[in-house]
Structure 1
């Protein structure tokens, strides 16, 4: 009876002074644990800056800033973590790790810890650095899907940590030696480092690489990013029967038998969640974590692409670039095939996000699917008024019951005593 009024009082105080406290973070080895960052894939020989945006957002959102705390970045290995200093090829600069340049041996898991004598928060990120001759383009590419006739703008992604003021971004298509033709007469235009395609055609599909040189500590380094552009989707493959020669050893050397070969049908992927027309509501200043879940055949899971678009633009090219993180692709086997899950984190939510269009797009050889959802700012004032009213009513009800039990008349007990005494007299 005492716990409920205290709970109501906490809710009322929370309503008066702001939102209730955020749920506690999980702990490990005495430290609060933050969700891991989206894995990073880079090429050997280029400058790499590892940052921890999810980790930084959590510190800012929860107002965690002990005055004497310091950042420490270590690389995990079998024996013990390696601490980095502010100089040399690998440098720690506050809450970032600079690799100037990166080597294939730098691949691994890096942990960022923010601690003092009494407080500790930790986050992690995985880095994969490929040798130029062994580059895995599937891992390096930022996937984009566009429809024929659509206007598309590509912006060199994930470069916010580099100073690009003195650098010119160059774009190349498919080959590292051929830049797409620019100008009004061509099908490509370049403006302030962005590559624009006024009207997308099927022939525009392919790999686009943006390259630039950056200057760090008076030294020049190469940086590049890769896009894989898909234009619409090829028509689903249809099962056909064809007769082909079947050469086999027979008693008659001149005899060639024939057999029928079936071409398998590739089914298009199915978006399980979110549903088309879903509205995601979130209060101002809070974070939002979204998941696009796609069901496909397991043999086509690796080649099935899933991506998020913001107002028909890639996340990196949209206005949410600095507040949204896309990644964490995960494939799990389910009863009906394999499910692909792609995460999108947006924080904090602001008035600018009201009615923004979020689109989940998936595609494989069988076809293309997409669903459209919408961001909406939750009316927190009305919500907290309702919660506060409910809390007050609950609190007053509990208090009324408690007072009634405490001061309830005890006439029945006196009457029983009187009747018992009268019976004993008789």
Structure 2
């Protein structure tokens, strides 16, 4: 029996606490650095969230835990005398941020019997073309498809998405969401791109206005859009032979095999025959049965 075969080949968040942490609060359990660093622009509002709050076991204590913030290079608690900084629930606000605010921030959650800490990294950059790759969120869409761009991390600045007003830019050009290319679908934090093309790749910005004490600030999120071509790997299909082949004793027999490989013939596709689960060259070492050339 001859059988035709086809083959297609084809930095940890929980690190050792810095010595500065252990010196300042040796009785606290250091839970490591938050996996997400905050990269923000100078002159804009910044919020730092304490990663301990949703994961801490201290909430089960009968006593309300105390949450405090401090900076690695300072022994003073935040906000202290800094009017640009204040706490609201588990969030540390910095309005507006300056490059000197960059650094490691430590949030401490404690009560009478429990204390734990985690650190959060903040880096504040000038709004220049050189820093654009550093502050951008990477998002990927497929070519010839319709997809969304999402303006991230705006929860504290837009309590209700129905009330949020966001302006979208590609580079420095304000996008008209009323045209057939860039569409608005009710949620201002999403930009719908119809029939995505390779030319749509690039840097986008979404900007929301935030008002604090009567003064307006821009909150900017930069997005790097990469458009990728979709690749489909075709599955080889044996077209023939699919049925038993009759033959006469002593006659010469040629059995062509046809395999559909898709629109192209991948170089990593191999087609071969086997006889009784053995390669032809092994089953017929004297060459009475041989395989022909691939076409």
Q: TM-score, normalised on structure 2? A: 0.62
Tell me, in whole angstroms, the C-alpha distance in 1 between the residues paired with 2:85 and 2:223: 27
Aligned residue number for residue 224 of structure 1: 220
- SS for the counterpart of 1:203 is helix
- SS for the counterpart of 1:133 is coil
Aligned residue number for residue 148 of structure 2: 153
Is it true that 1:101 corresponds to 2:99 in the alignment? Answer: no
Could you list the per-position Cα deviations for residues 84-139 of structure 1 after superposition, in whole angstroms to 9, with x for gaps in the alignment? 14972111223211111111110000000011333211111000000123752222
1:213 aligned residue (203, 209, 216): 209
Task: Give the drift of 1:186.
Answer: 2.5
**Higher-helix-fraction structure:** 1
Could you list the per-position Cα deviations for residues 281-336 of structure 1 after superposition, in whole angstroms to 9, with x for gaps in the alignment? xxxxxxxxxxxxxxxxxxxxxxxxxxxxxxxxxxxxxxxxxxxxxxxxxxxxxxxx
Aligned residue number for residue 158 of structure 2: 163
**Residues 21-100 of structure 1: matches in 2 within 5 Å?**
29-37=26-34, 38-52=36-50, 54-59=51-56, 63-77=59-73, 80-85=75-80, 88-100=83-95
Aligned residue number for residue 183 of structure 2: 189
Could you list the per-position Cα deviations for residues 244-297 of structure 1 after superposition, in whole angstroms to 9, with x for gaps in the alignment? xxxxxxxxxxxxxxxxxxxxxxxxxxxxxxxxxxxxxxxxxxxxxxxxxxxxxx
Deviates most, 79-88 or 135-144: 79-88
The answer on whether the counterparts of 1:150 and 1:199 sit within 8 Å (CA) in structure 2 is: yes
Cα separation, partners in 2 of 1:115 and 1:135, compared to 1, 3 Å: farther
- SS for the counterpart of 2:44 is coil
Deviates most, 156-165 or 205-214: 156-165
Is it true that 1:200 corresponds to 2:158 in the alignment? Answer: no
**Residues 238-249 of structure 1: matches in 2 within 5 Å?**
none
Is it true that 1:136 corresponds to 2:131 in the alignment? Answer: yes
Cα separation, partners in 2 of 1:57 and 1:135, compared to 1, 3 Å: farther
Is it true that 1:173 corresponds to 2:170 in the alignment? Answer: yes
- SS for the counterpart of 1:59 is coil
**RMSD of Structure 2 on Structure 1 (CA):** 2.8
Task: Give the drift of 1:55.
Answer: 1.6
- SS for the counterpart of 1:139 is helix
The answer on whether the counterparts of 2:48 and 2:92 sit within 8 Å (CA) in structure 1 is: yes
Task: Give the drift of 1:161.
Answer: 1.7
**Residues 319-334 of structure 1: matches in 2 within 5 Å?**
none
Q: TM-score, normalised on structure 1? A: 0.44
Residue-pair matches, total:
205
- SS for the counterpart of 1:209 is strand
The answer on whether the counterparts of 2:68 and 2:77 sit within 8 Å (CA) in structure 1 is: no
- SS for the counterpart of 2:52 is helix
Task: Give the drift of 1:65.
Answer: 4.2
Tell me, in whole angstroms, the C-alpha distance in 2 between the residues paired with 1:96 and 1:87: 16
Could you list the per-position Cα deviations for residues 334-362 of structure 1 after superposition, in whole angstroms to 9, with x for gaps in the alignment? xxxxxxxxxxxxxxxxxxxxxxxxxxxxx
Tell me, in whole angstroms, the C-alpha distance in 2 between the residues paired with 1:163 and 1:141: 20
Task: Give the drift of 1:162.
Answer: 1.8
Aligned residue number for residue 118 of structure 2: 123
Task: Give the drift of 1:160.
Answer: 1.1
Structure 2 unpaired stretches of 5+ = 1-14, 232-295
Cα separation, partners in 2 of 1:26 and 1:44, compared to 1, 3 Å: closer
- SS for the counterpart of 1:124 is strand
Aligned residue number for residue 251 of structure 1: none
Tell me, in whole angstroms, the C-alpha distance in 2 between the residues paired with 1:130 and 1:170: 21
Higher relative contact order (CA 8 A, sep 6+): 2
Tell me, in whole angstroms, the C-alpha distance in 2 between the residues paired with 1:26 and 1:66: 30
